[in-house]
Amino acid sequence: MTATGRVRAEFVAAGKSFLRRRTAVFFTFFFPVLLIVIFGVLVGTQPTGGGLFSKAPGYYVPAYLAVVVLLTPLSRVGSTVARFRDGSRFEKLATTPLSRPEWLLAHTLVNVAVIGLASLIILVLVVFVTGAEIALSVMVIPFVAVAVALFCGLGALIGSLSGSTDGVVAASNAIGLPLLFLSETFVTPDLLPGWFRPVMNLSPLTYFARGVRNLTFFGGPWTFDFVVLCAVAVVVFALGAYALPETD
């Protein structure tokens, strides 16, 4: 069997596994919708005011996308790696032709498909529920795909290094939540101390948010952010694949 065939077979198996986990499917799509309802409708934006949500609704589109782009891969891939390790499935996997990078690629493609659909739903809801005025660009698709690959790699690292499934959940939250709110998403840089703003450039999610925001809202340059996101994604994905255990 070729590498493409092996990845395709694992992709189909991983996709079916995800669909069987109804709770995971529900929260993958429900959680970002809940955030849109809370922040976009109940709280609302105040473009002429100050503080949180002081920008126009379109400004926060990357923030809503970041919820699924970041949190879903971290938790899903991290938990999957932990389950495979606890069930001695990596030991069985080592007896097959499927390599660790191929395994991670297949699971990443499942996440890209699922999160791509969730992102489309988010874009539609943001426009119709909050009245956000955004420019649609096909480049949003590769931004989402590359970011998902990056955080799948990070999820694989977390799952490989954590001692248990509970440890994966704790580590994912400890890493994901600060990144979500301190990467030019919901919290604008002007609300943070001046000394902290350069630190935001260390977060790969910042480049996702900036790039998508320039594409959909500001109409500014996005190439640099995309190149940085791609470079970091390649490194983190490679590290995640390398960290996957060959045996348990």
Place of tokens 């919820």: 67
Tokens for 228, please give them. Answer: 């940085």
Strands (E), the chain: none
Count of beta carbons in the 10 Å neighbourhood of residue 6:
18
Q: How far apart are CA 159 and CA 157, in angstroms?
A: 5
Tokens for 48, please give them. Answer: 């002429």
pLDDT tens-digit map of 46-68: 555 555 667 788 888 898 899 88
Residues of the chain short of pLDDT 50, as ranges, are none
Strands (E), 83-229: none
Q: How far apart are CA 64 and CA 60, in angstroms?
A: 7
pLDDT of residue 43: 56
Which helix H or strand E contains 206, and what residues bound it? helix 204-213
**Taking the model in full, what pTM does it have?**
0.89
pLDDT tens-digit map of 141-167: 999 999 999 999 999 999 988 867 778
